[in-house]
Amino acid sequence: RDYRIAIVGATGAVGVEMLRVLERRNFPVASLRLLASPRSSGKTLTFRGKDVVVEPLQPSAFAGIDIALFSAGGSISKEYAPVAVESGAVVIDNSSAFRQHENVPLVVPEVNGADVAHHKGIIANPNCTTAITLMALYPLHKKFRVKRIFASSYQAVSGAGARALEELRLQVKAVANDLPIEKEIFPHQIAFNVIPQVDSFLDTGYTKEEMKMQNEGRRIMHLPTFKASVTCVRVPVYRAHSVAVSAEFERPVTLHEAREAINAFPGIELRDDTASRDYPMPLDYAGKDDCAVGRLRLDCALENGISFWVCGDQLLKGAALNAVQIAELL
């Protein structure tokens, strides 16, 4: 059978990718409804060669919808996901609104795809940095049992939405032309800079984004003892996040087994040949479905530790692709 699909936030950085991923993966779409704010009413986006008109989001928009993909921010999800479920749709939500709700599975299909079966109408898509990190960490965990990680992220601006991408472009132009820079989305200049803040601060000094790795990692890996100390950093990259990870395991580790485990895992490539300076970089993984890991080494400061570098397109594996993969499981 074919499915009646709605995309909430269809005009956004992730929403547009959802459209492209549904197309590219030949998802069985019977009909498609594109929803956004009233600002976008009347805009059109193309799907399979046809123009589809963007409609304003309102409660009646979910009538007859089978699957609703949400990516318009947490407050929209909180307000409208229950409405969509009430109308009979299954919601796949890209926001953080429901990720810690007991009855809402939080799913990376390659890791815990079976959890989809327990849904009560809403399935949550994980944080982008967490999803990309787990693509490399989970195969190592299965082999060696992870205890804790220390990590720093290098997060692309498109993770903050379409307007953030434009902000970087305009700032780069302004700097090159000696003009004053304007900022709106980021708290500081992002062009030719790095900002050690993604999301808002908690009382502990960590940001919300940083704690997602531990909180979401525990649920996705079914590992309530997992610990993660993370520093999330915004970098002037358009697209694809990178994460430097040092992981400590329960069992003794070998690089040979680590490489084997990664090679056997779907959705992640091993790009690790230091002799030819081969390692993944965000420029090479922008627009790619697969994530990639490199710089694999025995950690010199941890017992049973492995350090690595992982890259992935946060709009794809970190958002739209993962959401459509969840829809495929449904």
69 touches ligand A2P (CB under 6 A): no
CA atoms of 37 and 45, how far apart (whole Å): 14
The answer to whether residue 267 forms part of the interface with ligand A2P (CB under 6 A) is no
CA distance linking residue 121 with residue 264, whole number of Å:
32
Q: Between residues 13 and 146, which has the closer beta carbon with respect to ligand A2P?
A: 13
101 binds ligand A2P (CB under 6 A): no
24 annotated as belonging to a binding site for a ligand? no
According to the binding rule CB under 6 A, does residue 83 interact with ligand A2P? no
Using CB under 6 A, pick the residue from 19, 32, 69, 76 that binds ligand A2P. Answer: 76
**CA pair distance 103, 123, nearest whole angstrom:** 9
DSSP 295-317: EEEE-SSSTTEEEEEEEE-TTII
318 scored as a contact of ligand A2P (CB under 6 A): no
Question: Does residue 234 have a known ligand-binding role?
Answer: yes
Instruction: Using alpha carbons, list the distances in angstroms from residue 268 to 143, 191, 260, 263, 308.
Output: 16, 30, 12, 8, 13
Q: Is 219 annotated as belonging to a binding site?
A: no
77 contributes a contact to ligand A2P by CB under 6 A? no
Q: Which is nearer to ligand A2P, 160 or 310 (CB)?
A: 160
Q: How far is the CB of 98 from ligand A2P (least distance, A)?
A: 17
By CB under 6 A, residue 232 contacts ligand A2P? no
Cα separation of 40 and 192, whole Å? 32
- Give the residues across from 243 on adjacent strands: 153, 310
Single out the residue of 3, 5, 6, 13 in contact with ligand A2P (rule: CB under 6 A).
Answer: 13
Angle (deg, nearest 10), helices 321-329 and 13-24: 50
The runs of H, that is alpha helices, within 222-271 are: 255-263
DSSP-based three-state secondary structure for 228: strand
In this structure, what are the phi and psi dihedrals at residue 61, rounded to the nearest 5 degrees? -65, -15
169: CB partners within 8 A, 6+ apart? none
The nearest distance, CB 71 to ligand A2P, in angstroms, is 6
Is 59 annotated as belonging to a binding site? no
From 6, 32, 36, 107, residue interacting with ligand A2P (rule: CB under 6 A):
36
For ligand A2P, the closer CB: 10 or 124: 10
Which residue out of 119, 141, 232, 241 is catalytically annotated?
A: 241
Q: Residue 119 catalytic?
A: no
| Identified binder of ligand A2P from the candidate list 162, 223, 235, 244, rule CB under 6 A | 162
Residue 18 found at the interface with ligand A2P (CB under 6 A): no
Residue 243 labelled as part of a binding site? no
Question: 20: annotated binding-site residue?
Answer: no
CA pair distance 128, 245, nearest whole angstrom = 15
Q: Indicate if 128 belongs to the active site.
A: yes
When the beta carbons of 5 and 57 are compared against ligand A2P, the nearer one is 57
46 annotated as ligand-binding: no
Alpha-carbon distance values, 133 to 117, 136, 298 (Å): 24, 6, 18
The answer to whether residue 61 forms part of the interface with ligand A2P (CB under 6 A) is no
| 3-state secondary structure at position 28 | coil
Interaction of residue 163 with ligand A2P, rule CB under 6 A = yes
Instruction: Examine residue 40 and tell whether it contacts ligand A2P (CB under 6 A).
Output: yes
Is the distance from CB of 221 to CB of 111 less than 8 angstroms?
A: yes
Instruction: Sort residue 232 into left (φ over 0), alpha (ψ -120 to 50) or beta.
Output: beta
Binding residues for substrate: 155, 234
Could you list the active site residues? 128, 241
Residues belonging to the binding site are 11-14, 39-40, 99, 155, 158-159, 180, 234, 314
Q: Which spans of this chain sit near ligand A2P (rule: CB under 6 A)? A: 9-15, 36-37, 39-40, 57, 72, 76, 161-163
